[in-house]
Amino acid sequence: QVQLVESGGGVVQPGGSLRLSCAASGFIFNNYDMHWVRQAPGKGLEWVAFIRYDGSNIQYIDSVKGRFTISRDNSNNALYLQMNSLRPEDTALYYCAKDFGNWANWFDPWGQGTLVTVSS
Partner 1 sequence: DIQMTQSPSSLSASVGDRVTITCRASQGLRNRLAWYQQKPEKAPKSLIYDVSSLQSGVPSRFSGRGSETEFTLTISSLQPEDFATYYCQQYNSYPLTFGGGTKVEIK
The amino acid present at 61, given as its one-letter code, is: I
Binds partner 1 by CB under 8 A, chosen from 8, 23, 78, 107: 107
Using DSSP, state whether 31 is helix, strand or coil. Answer: helix
N- to C-terminal Cα distance for the chain? 40
Taking residues 28 to 57 in sequence order and writing x for each that binds partner 1 by CB under 8 A, - otherwise, the string is -------x--------xxxx--x-------
The amino acid present at 120, given as its one-letter code, is: S
Nearer to partner 1, 42 or 120 (CB): 42
Give the C-alpha separation, 64 to 60, whole Å: 7
Taking residues 72 to 101 in sequence order and writing x for each that binds partner 1 by CB under 8 A, - otherwise, the string is -----------------------x----x-
